[in-house]
Amino acid sequence: MVLNPVISKLTGKLVVLASASPRRLEILTNVGLRFEVVPSWFKETLDKALFKTPQDYAVETARQKALEVATRMPYKHLKTPDIVIGADTVVAVDGQILEKPSDKQDAYRMLSSLSGKEHSVFTGVAIVLCQDQEDKEVDYKVVDFYEETKVKFADLSEDMLWEYINSGEPMDKAGGYGIQALGGMLVEYVHGDFLNVVGFPLNHFCKTLDTIYNSPPASPDHKSQWEDLGETWPLVNSLSKCAENGELEPSDSGNCGASDAASVSGASASASWVQEQNVVGPESALASTCGCNREEFPHKIVDLMDGFKASKALFAACKLNVFDVLSVSADLSPKEVAERVKASEEGSARLLDACVSLGLLERRTRDDGDHVYSNTEEASRFLVADSPLSLHGYILHCNDLVWPLFSHLESAVREGTNQYERAFGKKSEDLFQDAYYKKEEVKLRFMNAMHSIAKVSVKDLATAFDLSMFKTACDVGGCTGAMAYEFTQIYPEMSVTVFDLPQVIAMSDRFQPKDQNDRVTFVAGDFFKDPLPKAELYILARILHDWSLEKVHQLLDKLSKECNPGSGVLVCEILLDEEQRGPSRAFLQALSMTEGSQRSASQYTLLLGQHGFTQTHLKHTNNLLDAVLFVKE
């Protein structure tokens, strides 16, 4: 049984993966499943002592993750998913679950306990089916299962143990190893599903989907375990509390109701259906205590009303370098943060608490009773200015350029034009000249923004398809060369030319990586006026949506004349679907009123087809940009 027959049944459905695991994302993407990623806020702090077996714990954790996302999305994301997939993988030896190691010594303890022994890897999977009812309530059905794979380690020498530990790989892996990478050298044999050890039991998942869509169980015996879900809702989503203004926010307690986990779960070893009757979300469990009624209180609208405050809190924290300060010294008090960012203690305390509520910071109470703050893992990866995947530069760009523009949105809609002149006191072409030709700080800010966006999205774009047949590439409008360097890392035989305006190229050396190579070169020019460098593959990332149709045809005509049969064009843009729907960021971006347009894959196919290019591959990356590969006929 394969997934393809099931995919057709999922067409048009909103499928959500409640996990940020790159391994699970890759496994599901590789078999053609289209889905969104919405990481769960459920804190994995269930008391393991309450569960009879490790697999019971894994199934229950997966269920909590999936249900949290399924019930949050209608209120926080303003849409109800059709299917939410939750998963949790644990490593167990002698009946004991091994967590992620806290440090190198802990990793040594774990790996030593596995040396020369067979252990089990369990992945619990929960699939939540969501259906809007006529009365606007949501009906949830849950099916869960687990998969066990036996893994045996070789007898590990001290040298091999420490060589692996010092690689750094064990530190974010359950059980202290990753079989799909360097950890594979420790393994003597695997009995069972290999992908289950990587993080997701694909075969069992496919069979379960087949059961759901072709022969779903209807026995009332399968409806018993979660009939009382409303009474145990704090356990289900771990974030349901009623704020003073009637809004729902993440709970400070990640172990709320954990003592009921085993009795609620049952954690069945085979797939079991669970149906909740008349469950509409967190409000149904809390209505008696807070008086909230979904029919009376417009949660979606209120979330949108306050959305700009959340954005500005993020922008301000980045502008004040809060995340950078906390990356140097964690567990700082508001007073200590205020001193470092040169702000008031009261204002800093309020901003820090706002960032905690947004999931950007963590707060704990010291022995002396003071609150101290530290970055979340996500903030450390994406908000600290010098982290490899930092979005800091783009966030400052949004704060300094995009935010002022959107403060004049009413005028933009009335006039159908951009609002540069109102926002900055100058015409848009003058601002462009200012950004590129006058103030160095403005040029650097723009280039930092483009560099950070490229760093976050480039790997998914470069690996969307196998591009190894192209030995030369040209990144048109490639700015700092971030994409070019990543492409040459992934394709060792490829050389890439970055083609951009002279003023951009002149400053590109400030962004060169430490491990730069001589296969990336920079050429200055205007892609509308000057000849394009010769290449077998042309990369157009965030280019075509920005320009008028006339200019797009002008650029594509130049490309067509440069390309020989078999040459490629890689278009990287936000893709709408065939009904002109897509990620909200595509339509919000369009409100800036540039002369360009957001398009679907078929519209790009028609557009490039007029210049002799045929679409050969398409991939939705679940990142900032999607990818379409075209080849010259």
Given a cut of 90, is residue 472 above it in pLDDT? yes
pLDDT of residue 275: 35
Q: Torsions phi, psi of 20, nearest 5?
A: -95, 10
| Whether the Cβ atoms of residue 99 and residue 174 lie closer than 8 Å to each other | yes
Range among 150-164, 344-358, 407-421 with highest mean pLDDT value: 344-358
Q: Rounded to an integer, what distance in angstroms lies between the CA atom of residue 288 and that of residue 283?
A: 9
Q: Which residue has the tokens 């650029």?
A: 555
Given a cut of 90, is residue 49 above it in pLDDT? no
pLDDT band with cut points at 50, 70 and 90 for residue 149: very high
pLDDT of residue 549: 93
pLDDT band with cut points at 50, 70 and 90 for residue 593: confident
**What is the mean predicted confidence (pLDDT) over 476-493?**
94
More confident call, 271 vs 584: 584
- Domains in the chain (CATH in brackets) are 4-91+121-147+191-289 (3.90.950.10), 299-387 (1.10.10.10), 461-632 (3.40.50.150)
First-last CA distance in the chain:
37
* Tens of pLDDT, residues 486-535: 999 999 999 999 999 998 998 888 888 877 788 999 999 999 999 999 99
Q: Using H for helix, E for strand and C for coil, what is the string for 372-425?
A: EEEECHHHHHHCCCCCCCCCHHHHHHHHHHHHHHHCCHHHHHHHCCCCHHHHHC
More confident call, 78 vs 40: 40
More confident call, 44 vs 89: 89
Positive or negative, the Cα torsion across 618, 620, 623, 625? positive
pLDDT of residue 7: 64
Q: Torsions phi, psi of 450, nearest 5?
A: -65, -35
pLDDT of residue 211: 86
**What is the mean predicted confidence (pLDDT) over 529-542?**
95
One-letter amino acid of 204: H
pLDDT of residue 260: 33
Percent of the chain whose pLDDT exceeds 90: 45
Give the start-end residues of each E strand in 396-542: 472-476, 495-500, 520-524, 537-541
Given a cut of 70, is residue 14 above it in pLDDT? yes
**What is the mean predicted confidence (pLDDT) over 184-193?**
90
Given a cut of 60, is residue 104 above it in pLDDT? yes
- List all residues 6 or more positions away from 415 whose beta carbon is below 8 Å from its beta carbon: none
Given a cut of 80, is residue 136 above it in pLDDT? no
**What is the mean predicted confidence (pLDDT) over 400-418?**
89
pLDDT band with cut points at 50, 70 and 90 for residue 569: very high
Given a cut of 70, is residue 219 above it in pLDDT? no
Helix axes 601-609, 549-562, angle to 10 degrees: 60
Q: Torsions phi, psi of 378, nearest 5?
A: -65, -40
- pLDDT, averaged across the chain: 82
Out of 270-284, 399-413, 578-592, pick the least confident: 270-284
pLDDT of residue 343: 95
Q: Torsions phi, psi of 22, nearest 5?
A: -65, -25
| Whether the Cβ atoms of residue 538 and residue 568 lie closer than 8 Å to each other | yes
Given a cut of 90, is residue 32 above it in pLDDT? no
Q: Which two tokens stand for residue 255?
A: 């172990």
The model carries a pTM of 0.54
Range among 99-113, 160-174, 389-403, 418-432 with highest mean pLDDT value: 389-403
pLDDT of residue 4: 57
pLDDT band with cut points at 50, 70 and 90 for residue 126: very high
More confident call, 531 vs 273: 531
Given a cut of 90, is residue 131 above it in pLDDT? no
pLDDT of residue 48: 87
pLDDT of residue 366: 81
Q: Torsions phi, psi of 229, nearest 5?
A: -60, -35
Given a cut of 70, is residue 308 above it in pLDDT? yes
Give the start-end residues of each E strand in 162-257: 187-191, 241-242, 248-249
Tell me the catalytic residues. Answer: 88
pLDDT of residue 276: 37
Given a cut of 60, is residue 430 above it in pLDDT? no
pLDDT of residue 103: 85
